[in-house]
Amino acid sequence: MSSTNKGNQTIGCNVSSCVHFDGSENMCKLHSINVEPMEGCHNGKACDESMCGSYKCQHEI
Ligand code: SF4
């Protein structure tokens, strides 16, 4: 993604347990998110290395 896309991204997501999830379009309702590294993980597997730092469980509100 080039820097010219800044501010024009869309965030596709399938995490239905998140309060920010829009299930009608499988999208995130936020304008931006933070992607965080998993602490202490260095195995190179995408499923282990990163996570959405903006996730908020819909059952916590
Ligand atoms: S905050 Fe993260 S996990 Fe939640 S809907 Fe947006 S992208 Fe998905």
Q: Confidence class of residue 61 from pLDDT cuts 50, 70 and 90?
A: low
- Count CB neighbours of 21 within 10 A: 20
| pLDDT for residue 3 | 61
Nearest CA owner, ligand 1 atom 3: 55
Q: Tell me: the pLDDT tens digits for 30-39?
A: 999 999 988 8
Candidate of 52, 58, 59, 61 to mutate for ligand 1, largest count of ligand atoms within 8 Å of Cβ: 52
Cα–ligand 1 centroid distance for 22 (angstroms): 9
Tell me if 38 sits within 8 A of 51, measured CB to CB.
yes
Band of pLDDT at residue 14, cut at 50, 70 and 90: very high
